[in-house]
């Protein structure tokens, strides 16, 4: 579903009140009177426009977009979220990138991303609640009404999954609020997860297999988000059942060329299960994830640790660990023969994901120079389009993929491994993803008869290289409880290569749960700060 300017509609959808942190900060609009919202929900066009506003909320630069223009970079989309992990970093950028303080373990309840992530997710929830409550007044058919409600419930479930993966216990709001209902206490994470899984199961029975319009939510999307929710919460049987249902739809398959998957021409291929639609450039409805200044985006660096995670074409880890040479002025010699050769004969996904020494941008070598625009020697490449001018790159038309079929296969494999009962299926699924990348099978590299621990390491590695910079890595580190290892890898990389990275701090268990925004704690008298973050 392509989205157009809907400021008036979105303003109408802001008519009901939420807790203070759920204000319509994204659109920076004052809430209109309740009667304005009441007058809106009258026709079939109102219903469709209301649904459009629900989808539009996903384009928030703190959800599935990023900077909305090159002069004001004030977002934190999926690529930036991965830069808060061992996949990348906003290295030595003086703290101006959102999420920089979370990556470095120095954030607080007043940190900008802590506040904006909360607001962005709740803004989408608010729009979903308003549609669910009011769409029945528009006179549309029962079937259409139920489909619209199901789509809104899938989006609402995804937003609550985002919130419970970060803040854990949060206010669970499922209906429009009045001012008298603005103070809302937290609901425990387990209760929220149970409720959204029920919504997703019900939605899957209503939604069609094929979307009536491009990028509308389908049965496969509902089941995929159901599987992700179950996987993230250690509910292996539920995850396995949901993912088997996705596969049984016989609608999805892996696109044949990973290097061409993340371009506009292929955004509707059979691998894409759920995406956020963008139009551009030139329509002010584009995506800024791949915004650049005529070269790879300097502020978004990949790590050498991630680059090394992409194995050689024989399926074995790269053994070239020689330290990069340095010039007399202290700047790295990125382009010497050793360093460029280091990234040859590697998993083809490497150069589709990262811009590494030896690659060119529009046929030209990118000279980093003594200014060290990329302290790691590596940039993020996924979602970047060298053919777009700098101006157009901030308003690009490339959709962002929320769920791909490859994630479904690897998530099902992980659930099988964690349950410990179907290792053969897990290996087959991993092999499917490897084969698309023209990488050898598990049997030909790691062998047969592997233990649960061995298979767990394999699927986690495969997930990292397959889905890097798609906004999944931070949640993976949280749910696997391996964030400390990731922090250590980045700090050790800085020491090994003498890169001027910021030191990443680790404060124990509080790194796995974000504090509730202080502004909400102060204004919502029923909302208590998370125990680990209480003063």
pLDDT mean over 208-237: 96
Query: Tokens 């299960």 map to which residue?
Result: 273
Backbone φ and ψ for 187, nearest 5 degrees, come out as -115, 140
> Which of 148-162, 373-387, 420-434 has the weakest average pLDDT?
373-387
> What CA–CA distance (Å, rounded) separates 11 from 71?
26
Nearest to 454 by CA among 405, 489, 420: 420
Q: Which sign does the torsion angle of CA 98, 99, 104, 108 carry?
A: positive
Residue 96: predicted pLDDT: 76
Residue 8: predicted pLDDT: 44
CB 47 within 8 A of CB 101: no
Residue 472 scores a pLDDT above 90: yes
CB 41 within 8 A of CB 196: no
H-state helical runs in 208-348: 219-232, 236-248, 304-309, 337-341
Predicted confidence (pLDDT) per residue in 264-294, tens digit = 999 999 999 999 999 988 877 889 888 887 7
> What CA–CA distance (Å, rounded) separates 512 from 535?
17
**How many CA atoms lie within 13 Å of 201's alpha carbon, on the beta-carbon side?**
11
| The model's pTM | 0.92
Spell out the residues 6+ positions from residue 415 whose beta carbon is closer than 8 angstroms to its own. 227, 230, 231, 236, 239, 240, 243
Mean residue pLDDT across the chain: 87
Cβ count within 10 A of residue 105: 16
Predicted confidence (pLDDT) per residue in 233-247, tens digit = 999 999 999 999 999
Calculate the alpha carbon distances from 272 to 181, 221, 301, 348 in Å.
39, 9, 26, 20
Two structure tokens written together for 446: 């790691």
CB 266 within 8 A of CB 401: no
**What is the band of 331 on the pLDDT scale with cuts at 50, 70, 90?**
low
**Proportion of the chain above pLDDT 70, given as a percent:** 85
Calculate the alpha carbon distances from 398 to 159, 437, 473 in Å.
22, 22, 21
Q: Angle, to 10 degrees, between the axis of helix 44-56 and the axis of helix 112-134?
A: 160
> What CA–CA distance (Å, rounded) separates 274 from 404?
7
Q: Beta strands of 250-382 (E only): which ranges?
A: 272-276, 301-302, 354-355, 360-361, 364-365, 379-380
> What CA–CA distance (Å, rounded) separates 40 from 37?
5
Q: Which sign does the torsion angle of CA 499, 502, 507, 508 carry?
A: negative
**What is the band of 90 on the pLDDT scale with cuts at 50, 70, 90?**
confident
**What is the band of 371 on the pLDDT scale with cuts at 50, 70, 90?**
very low
H-state helical runs in 111-141: 112-134
Query: 282: buried, middle or exposed (CB in 10 Å: 19+, 13-18, 0-12)?
Result: exposed
Predicted confidence (pLDDT) per residue in 70-79, tens digit = 666 688 999 9
Residue 89: predicted pLDDT: 87
Residue 20 scores a pLDDT above 80: no
> What CA–CA distance (Å, rounded) separates 25 from 133?
22
> What CA–CA distance (Å, rounded) separates 188 from 283?
42
Highest mean pLDDT among 312-321, 387-396, 507-516: 507-516
Residue 7: predicted pLDDT: 41
Predicted confidence (pLDDT) per residue in 113-140, tens digit = 999 999 999 999 999 999 999 999 999 9
- Strands of the sheet with 301-302, listed across from one edge: 88-89, 301-302, 379-380, 354-355
Residue 300: predicted pLDDT: 80
Residue 29: predicted pLDDT: 31
pLDDT mean over 374-382: 82
CB 246 within 8 A of CB 408: yes
DSSP one-letter code for 499: -
Residue 326: predicted pLDDT: 54
> What CA–CA distance (Å, rounded) separates 313 from 304?
18
> What CA–CA distance (Å, rounded) separates 133 from 389?
44
Q: Assess whether the previous peptide bond of 22 is cis (omega < 30° from 0).
A: no
CB 256 within 8 A of CB 35: no
Rg (CA), the chain: 23
Residue 95: predicted pLDDT: 73
CB 510 within 8 A of CB 167: no
């Amino acid at each position: 579903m392509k989205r157009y300017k809907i400021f008036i509609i979105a303003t109408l959808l802001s008519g009901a009140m939420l807790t203070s942190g759920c204000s319509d900060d994204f659109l920076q609009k004052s809430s209109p009177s309740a009667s304005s919202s009441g007058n809106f929900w009258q026709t079939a066009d109102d219903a469709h426009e209301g649904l459009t506003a629900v989808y539009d909320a996903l384009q928030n630069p703190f959800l599935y977009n990023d900077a909305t223009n090159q002069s004001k970079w004030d977002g934190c989309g999926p690529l930036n979220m991965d830069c808060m992990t061992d996949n990348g970093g906003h290295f030595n950028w003086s703290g101006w990138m959102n999420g920089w303080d979370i990556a470095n373990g120095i954030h607080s309840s007043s940190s900008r991303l802590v506040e904006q992530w909360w607001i962005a997710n709740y803004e989408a929830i608010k729009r979903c609640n308003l549609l669910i409550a009011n769409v029945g007044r528009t006179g549309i058919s029962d079937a259409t009404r139920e489909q619209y409600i199901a789509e809104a419930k899938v989006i609402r479930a995804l937003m609550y999954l985002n919130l419970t993966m970060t803040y854990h216990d949060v206010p669970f709001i499922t209906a429009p609020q009045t001012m008298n209902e603005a103070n809302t206490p937290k609901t425990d994470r387990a209760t929220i997860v149970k409720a959204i899984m029920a919504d997703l199961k019900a939605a899957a029975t209503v939604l069609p297999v094929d979307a009536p319009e491009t990028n509308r939510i389908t049965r496969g999307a509902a089941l995929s988000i159901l599987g992700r929710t179950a996987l993230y919460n250690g509910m292996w049987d539920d995850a396995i059942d949901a993912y088997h249902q996705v596969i049984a739809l016989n609608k999805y398959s892996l696109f044949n060329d990973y290097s061409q998957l993340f371009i506009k021409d292929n955004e509707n291929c059979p691998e894409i299960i759920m995406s956020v639609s963008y139009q551009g450039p030139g329509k002010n409805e584009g995506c800024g994830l791949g915004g650049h200044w005529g070269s790879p985006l300097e502020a978004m660096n990949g790590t050498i640790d991630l680059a090394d995670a992409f194995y050689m074409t024989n399926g074995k880890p790269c053994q070239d660990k020689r330290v990069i040479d340095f010039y007399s002025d202290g700047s790295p010699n990125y382009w010497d023969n050793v360093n460029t050769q280091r990234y040859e004969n590697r998993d083809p996904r490497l150069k589709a994901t990262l811009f590494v020494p030896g690659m060119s941008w529009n046929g030209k070598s990118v000279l980093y120079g003594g200014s060290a625009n990329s302290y790691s020697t590596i940039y993020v490449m996924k979602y970047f389009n060298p053919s777009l001018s700098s101006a157009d790159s901030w308003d690009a038309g490339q959709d962002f993929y929320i769920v791909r079929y490859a994630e479904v296969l690897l998530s099902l494999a992980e659930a099988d491994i964690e349950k410990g009962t179907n290792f053969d299926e897990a290996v087959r699924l991993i092999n499917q993803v490897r084969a698309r990348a023209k990488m050898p099978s598990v049997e030909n590299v790691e062998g047969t008869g592997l233990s649960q621990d061995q298979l767990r390491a394999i699927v986690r590695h495969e997930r990292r290289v397959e889905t890097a910079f798609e906004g999944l890595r931070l949640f993976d580190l949280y749910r696997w409880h391996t964030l400390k290892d990731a922090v250590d890898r980045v700090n050790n990389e800085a020491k090994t290569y003498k890169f001027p990275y910021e030191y990443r701090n680790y404060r124990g268990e509080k790194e796995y749960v974000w504090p509730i925004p202080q502004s909400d704690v102060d204004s919502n008298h029923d909302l208590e700060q998370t125990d680990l973050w209480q003063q």
